[in-house]
Amino acid sequence: MEIKTSVAKKLMDALIYDNDFVNRFTPFDESKHYGDWVEKIAEKVCFPDNNMEYFTDEAIDVFAIGDYDEKEEMIKKCPELRGLDKVLNEYYDYLEETFKL
């Protein structure tokens, strides 16, 4: 589960920092920024056929904050990622509501 937790946090960090949910007025607070979402997201991280290519730093950026078409292409290649996409969208909504962009 450690690898899945690490991947979950990288995905979350990409969303947090790319969307300015952390700045000089809103410093990072693990309990607020991560909350109970780490476990929810880690649960959806999957490694089909033990293929780690979907979780390189570049792939994480594409999946978490990249172009919609690029992300959909990844999901076409690996449909198991659809659940992860859904929970990341829910997490983004949580961040947006909590930190009022």
Going from N- to C-terminal start, the domains of the chain cover 2-99
pLDDT tier at 1, thresholds 50, 70, 90: low
pLDDT the model gives residue 48: 65
pLDDT the model gives residue 9: 94
pLDDT the model gives residue 95: 94
pLDDT the model gives residue 101: 57
Rounded CA gap, 59 and 100, in Å?
28
Whether the CB-CB separation of 65 and 21 falls below 8 Å is answered with no
Rounded CA gap, 53 and 35, in Å?
27
pLDDT tier at 15, thresholds 50, 70, 90: very high
pLDDT at 10 over 90: yes
pLDDT at 51 over 80: no
pLDDT tier at 96, thresholds 50, 70, 90: very high
Rounded CA gap, 22 and 19, in Å?
8
pLDDT at 57 over 80: yes
